[in-house]
Amino acid sequence: MKDKPAVTLLVEDNEAHAMLTMRALEDMKATNKIYWVSDGEEALDYLFRRGKYASKENSPRPDLILLDLQLPKLDGHEVLNVIKQSENLKVIPVVVLTTSENEKDIAQAYENYADSYLVKSADFGVFSETVRELSFYWLMQNRPSRERRRLDSDIGSKCNVKNQHIPLSPQIALPST
Amino acid sequence: MKKERSPNIKLDKNIIVLHFTIVACVILAFYVAFVIRTTVVYTHLFYIPIILAGMWYYKKAVYVAFGLGVVHILVTFFSPPPLSIDVFGRAVIFIVVAYVIGFVSEQRAEGEDALRESEEKYSAFFKTSRDPVFITSKEGRGVDVNDAAVELFGYEDRDELLKVNVPDLYKNPEERRRHTQLIDQQGFTKDFAVNLRRKDGSIINTLISSVIKKDGNGNVIGYHETIRDITERKRMEEERERIFKDIEVKNSEMERFVYTVSHDLRSPLVTIQGYTELLRKDIERNETEQVKTDLKYIANAATTMDLLLKDTLQLSRIGRVTNPPEDVPFGEIVKEALELIAGHIKSSGVDVSTANDFPTVHVDRMRMREVLVNLIENSINYRGEQPSPEINIGYRVDGGETVFFVQDNGIGMDKSQHKKVFDLFYKVDKSSKGTGAGLAIVKRIIEVQGGRIWIESEKGKGCTICFTLPIV
């Protein structure tokens, strides 16, 4: 079905949780590359190819975004809002992955057009199963618009974003190995 | 309706005078008739006892007139001048005059009685009323006040209070004009809310109900005003309002607190349980390196959880466990705080300067020291790559308010962070140590002391944390 591996962007400030998510997706390694950024600003830098993500090689357009809500600098809601306001990015499915079960968070996420809302479970079996299934669904089973996928080439230049953030921390996106 | 007026002590003198004049008149009549034995008109003098009797004893004057008439007739009959019809005529006139005077006097007395009675009733009510009542003239002088009013305004006695100009009893004397205008306009006021000034200068909240007083020609001569002191009621209302607001704030704080804590405490739990599961798998697969990583994550998460719990506990203590506030020169607290972390300051190479003289504040000394230590350490930790890091502790007066500040020339922060940094467990920089509870704790301490705290900063341009405290 695919000519190149799918790309998942993981926005997660907690290193342990990021690793946990990546391990949950281990089985899909061959077909799925994961890029990890650790705060909201960095996520937008990646998506809009700014700063250290200016080159396309460093920031392939993701097919799926896994987004935590509690993030330093720019929180997940704001990141989600920016993504869904952007003509080019709004088609990318965004799965909110958080420990928050707060109704307000859930409502706000869906108001900002989150595609799914997933609560991190303390039970690793359940957690990895859900992450796996969800990723599998969005990346393999769900059929995205081919038309849209082709827009990939020049997202950075066209987007119309309110917040112009400069990257602060020298965090490097870790592709899963 | 006739009322029998019983003679009272005052009338005893009248009786003597009356009897004296009657006797004088009778002697005069005999003297003229039998000693002088000529015709002299003396009967005009008879009107003296008749009029007196009429005024004092009303229609009973008729008896006096009748008696004097009889005397006049008899002495004339036995005296040389002849008895004429005029003599009888005069006697009748005596009686008529006595009756008329008696009647008129009685009428007037009845009216006066009614008036006195009503005035007595009114005055008793006025005097004993527990509602302060004020009778004022149009010109703004007090005409009469009752004891309750004297007490309300805190004056020694009635006369002292009456010496004060009525507008000066108002907190804002201009209000008085507005008030009287309104009474003049509608003839009364009901519950006119006004702040009045007591003798000692304290202000009381009152409601005044007044009616206009006019003379017979409809000219305004003054006002009757009843004052109701609602200071206490108002204070209680405000107190209630304040408590409600307080509870609301506390409630939303609590909600946020629970939300944050549940999220932040859950996070390490997810890690621990997740890696425990992975650990089991990795042991089965004999992946030693992975096992080490798993254990590291588990240990770190447990440490984080411990720190989070400690900070949460500390935060919850701030409101509950307080040392009594004392008057401390702020400079002393600064000095103590700097001494406490002298080592850290020295090793970091930060240059700390402080203002020379600080105002004295009314605070929990230990907690404030904690605040300063926290803020100075923050400045040290976020000095960034600054080659000559500086911290300046001082104060300024902003619109009459004293604002203390801890200023640095470190990395600073974007405006979007200014509020968030005070959130519990919020960290600007993920890699910095600590749980991110420091500023939340600082904020809570400042607020418990009754102050406010905020940040003035721009990214790359240093950071100034400002706060207010109760000043002595």
Reported ipTM? 0.73
Tell whether B243 and B221 lie within a shared domain. no
Percent residues over pLDDT 90 in chain B: 34
B3 within a domain of the structure (yes/no) = no
Tell whether B137 and B169 lie within a shared domain. yes
Q: Who contacts B217 (Cβ-Cβ below 8 Å, separation ≥6)?
A: none
pLDDT reported for residue B430: 67
Question: Which amino acid type is present at position B284?
Answer: E
In this complex, do B275 and A16 lie within 8 Å of one another by their Cβ atoms? yes
B4 within a domain of the structure (yes/no) = no
How many Cβ pairs closer than 8 A exist between chain A and B?
Answer: 70
pLDDT reported for residue B141: 83
Q: Is B197 helix (H, G, I), strand (E, B) or coil?
A: strand
Q: Which residue of A has its CA nearest to B429?
A: A72
- Taking 50 as the pLDDT cut, the residues of chain A under it are 1-2, 150-177
pLDDT reported for residue A145: 61
Give residue-wise pLDDT tens across range B436-446. Answer: 888 988 998 99
pLDDT reported for residue B10: 55
Tell whether B347 and B411 lie within a shared domain. yes
The angle, 0 to 180 degrees and rounded to 10, between the axes of the packed helices A40-47 and A76-85 is 20
In this complex, do A16 and B429 lie within 8 Å of one another by their Cβ atoms? no
Tell whether B341 and B460 lie within a shared domain. yes
B472 within a domain of the structure (yes/no) = no
Give residue-wise pLDDT tens across range B124-144. Answer: 888 888 889 988 888 888 888
Give residue-wise pLDDT tens across range B259-309. Answer: 777 778 888 888 898 899 889 989 999 989 999 999 999 999 999 889 888
The angle, 0 to 180 degrees and rounded to 10, between the axes of the packed helices A103-111 and A76-85 is 20
Instruction: Give the domain-ending residue among B126, B155, B170.
Output: B126
Distance CA B159, CA A36 (A): 87
B221 within a domain of the structure (yes/no) = yes
Tell whether B16 and B108 lie within a shared domain. yes
- Provide the 8-state DSSP code for A25: T
B409 within a domain of the structure (yes/no) = yes
Residue showing tokens 């006025």: B126
Q: If you average pLDDT over residues B58-79, what whole number do you get?
A: 87
pLDDT reported for residue A109: 93
In this complex, do B270 and A127 lie within 8 Å of one another by their Cβ atoms? yes
Angle at B367 between CA B364 and CA B371, to 5 degrees: 130
Tell whether B330 and B456 lie within a shared domain. yes
The radius of gyration computed from the CA coordinates of chain B, to the nearest angstrom, equals 48
CB count, 10 Å around CB of B317? 12
- Please check whether residue A23 touches B, CB under 8 A: yes
Distance CA B65, CA B43 (A): 11
Mutate to test the interface with B, among A73, A79, A126, A129 (most CBs of B within 10 A): A73
Contact B414, B434 (CB under 8 A): no
Where residue B11 falls among pLDDT bands split at 50, 70, 90? low
The topology (CATH level 3) of A6-158 is Rossmann fold (3.40.50)
Contact B158, B150 (CB under 8 A): yes
B181 within a domain of the structure (yes/no) = yes
pLDDT reported for residue A59: 84
Contact A44, A155 (CB under 8 A): no
Tell whether B62 and B136 lie within a shared domain. no
In this complex, do B267 and A123 lie within 8 Å of one another by their Cβ atoms? no
> Which of the two residues, B320 and B104, has the higher pLDDT score?
B104
Residue showing tokens 């705080």: B337
Residue A36 Rama label (left phi>0; alpha psi -120 to 50; beta): beta
Tell whether B116 and B136 lie within a shared domain. no
Tell me the DSSP string of A110-172.
Answer: HHTT-SEEEEPPSSHHHHHHHHHHHHHIIIIIS---HHHHGGGGGHHHH---S------S---
CATH number of the domain enclosing B416? 3.30.565.10
B406 within a domain of the structure (yes/no) = yes
The domain in which residue B198 lies consists of 129-229
Where residue B460 falls among pLDDT bands split at 50, 70, 90? confident
In this complex, do B277 and A124 lie within 8 Å of one another by their Cβ atoms? yes
Q: Is the model's pLDDT at B71 over the cut of 90?
A: no
In terms of C-beta density within 10 A (0-12 exposed, 13-18 middle, 19 or more buried), how is residue B244 classed?
exposed
Helix-strand-coil percent breakdown of chain B, rounded to 5?
Answer: 60, 15, 25
Instruction: Give the domain-ending residue among B320, B348, B363.
Output: B320
Question: Which amino acid type is present at position B66?
Answer: F
Q: Which residue of A has its CA nearest to B270?
A: A122
B6 within a domain of the structure (yes/no) = no
Where residue B197 falls among pLDDT bands split at 50, 70, 90? very high
Backbone angles phi, psi at A102, to 5 degrees: -65, 130
Tell whether B459 and B381 lie within a shared domain. yes
Q: Who contacts A157 (Cβ-Cβ below 8 Å, separation ≥6)?
A: none
Instruction: Give the domain-ending residue among B200, B229, B258.
Output: B229
Where residue B405 falls among pLDDT bands split at 50, 70, 90? very high
Q: If you average pLDDT over residues B326-345, what whole number do you get?
A: 91
Q: Is A174 helix (H, G, I), strand (E, B) or coil?
A: coil
Contact B427, B393 (CB under 8 A): no
Distance from the A45 Cα atom to the nearest Cα atom in chain B, whole angstroms: 16
pLDDT reported for residue B411: 87
Tell whether B95 and B166 lie within a shared domain. no
